[in-house]
A and B are shown apart, each in its own frame.
Chain A
Amino acid sequence: MAATAIDTAARREKSRWAGLGLSERQAWSLLFVAPYVAIFIGFVLFPVGYSFWLARSPQLYVELAADPIFLRTVINTFVFLVVAINVKMALALFLSGFFTHKRWWVKVLAVLFVLPWAVPSIPTILSVRFMLNPEWGVINQLIFSLTAEDGPNWLNDPALALTLSMLVHIWKSLPFWTLILLAGRLAIPGELYEAASVDGAGAWHRFRYITWPSMSTLYVTCTLLSMIFTVGDFNSVYLLTGGGPADLTHVLATLGIRYLRLDQVGLAMASIVCALPLILPLVYFMMRRLSR
């Protein structure tokens, strides 16, 4: 019904415009859209095209495959995407439920909770980095004072360092996704829950039969969007571990930059091209969802 209403409105509008000259309106619209098209051509289309051209040689991919760091990076990226994002989204779903409770202190907490997202990455991630310093960091000092033994050298163990990078990523972006899922929860009509309570439904049943069915699409969309964003998350890894120890904690986002800094632009682009099979299905799916 809404669609037909819009249709008629559009048709009505068209006839009005036709009287005033359609071409004039189109001319104006071209003028208005021109700045964005210029930016798109100059800073997206040309750079991307040029880079694909730089990455055209098959030799580059042979070289890339021969680099042991590359394989490790691909595995790290997978682990990062699968583990960090699912843990983060599950936490966000859980906490969005927590933040629906109306208590004065929950409101205060909600305001503070957004801080990691509202403040820039670099000082906070470097702060975490120093907390993890094996000699002077507050964490190992605490461990020493409690157990009289030295704590682990956190960032010197690749598995531990990657885990900590994932935790930093979760710390930084959890508030954003929690807020979005909270907005989703608040859009569910309250009467549904009241009716369920009257029927004697417990917390789990209310979640299973009311909350989840209303939220599942939003949840999946958020997860996919978060994956796309996370593939491009440079800060969580670079600022915490710098890709170390021994370049074992790189993800695709930091590897491209590493090659670039080593002046191997071809390899940098080739590594990004290799990420496309991972990204494109996600992008295709998101485009279908969003460009309706």
Chain B
Amino acid sequence: MTALTIVLVLVLLLVVFGLLFRLQTLTSIFSGSFTRDIGMSNSVNAVLFIVFLVGGGAWFAYSFAENFNKMNPPIASIHGHAMERMFWITMAVIGVAFVITQALLFWYSYKYQHKEGRRAYFFSHNNTIEVVWTIIPAVVMAALIFAGWKAWTRITGPAPKESVVLEVMGKQFNWLVRYPGRDMKLGVVNYRLIDATNEFGFDLTDKSALDDFTAGEVHVPKGVPVLIKIRSRDVLHAVYMPHFRVQMYAVPGMPTRFWFTPTTTTDEMRAKLGNPKFDYELACNQICGRGHFAMKLKIVVDEPDDYQNWYAAQKSFSEQNPDVLASFKNKPATMAPAAAQVEAAEQPAAPLASMSH
């Protein structure tokens, strides 16, 4: 209610200011009857357009160059490098269009400003010109569409058979990570089984869930395709890994996935950047509530050997939580609801699913 009062007070103040201004300086400006005059102000505006074009263009070019390195964070995935190339090629294409059209717009505004005694050129249409400037953009667009489509099909296509699999689950407000364990098979999870200990909702009546382990950070091997399966257990989230050019929503009730191949280990990247504190990061990129801006997960890219060692050293969830395991011993195996069963059936024998939705 106080807020409403203050809004009203502000409105009143504005009115008071309005009255004051009316009484004072500006009365003179508005007196007299209106006559159109195309005088000084017309050429002042025309010159300002040129000033804006030159000054604004110079400022833009300078600040763009100045910030170029900052806007190009390091890239560490195979498709990321390809995307980067496509991004800057597209930027160059639209940059050409940008410079030509803006320059013409401001130049014409200046050049064809009103002059006494000159008459505008009556030029209502020209079909040849229309066709030309329809076809040229269409051809350029066709090329961009084709390149984009090729890359998109490759990136979203099936993950290679040898991919490493892990699962990331979003929740308000952090990420949970699990790996399939020794059997290379992610076990069944069920959101109805979630509680404070069993955050993933492991269904431990499923054999392949027994050796699944959870982790506080993501480890992936360098040079090997990684398939991230993505879930959410409450609202929408999005897995966003800017260094790897990876982004995919986490949707409750609809598992999604994204695969990529890391090219640089964390240590290599630290050395390359001269920043011993550098870490790859995973951020949430779909508004999910109060803690949205703080859903950070560390990603570590290891040499394949280190990755193997790390993987082997992890203890499974069931091993770490014997009481949870014990509670499942008393439950019938059929308690997993139909939805989870269907999903289990859909998982192919190999740990790596294809990308077909």
A and B held together in a complex:
no
Query: Which A residues form the contact surface with B (CB < 8 A)?
Result: none
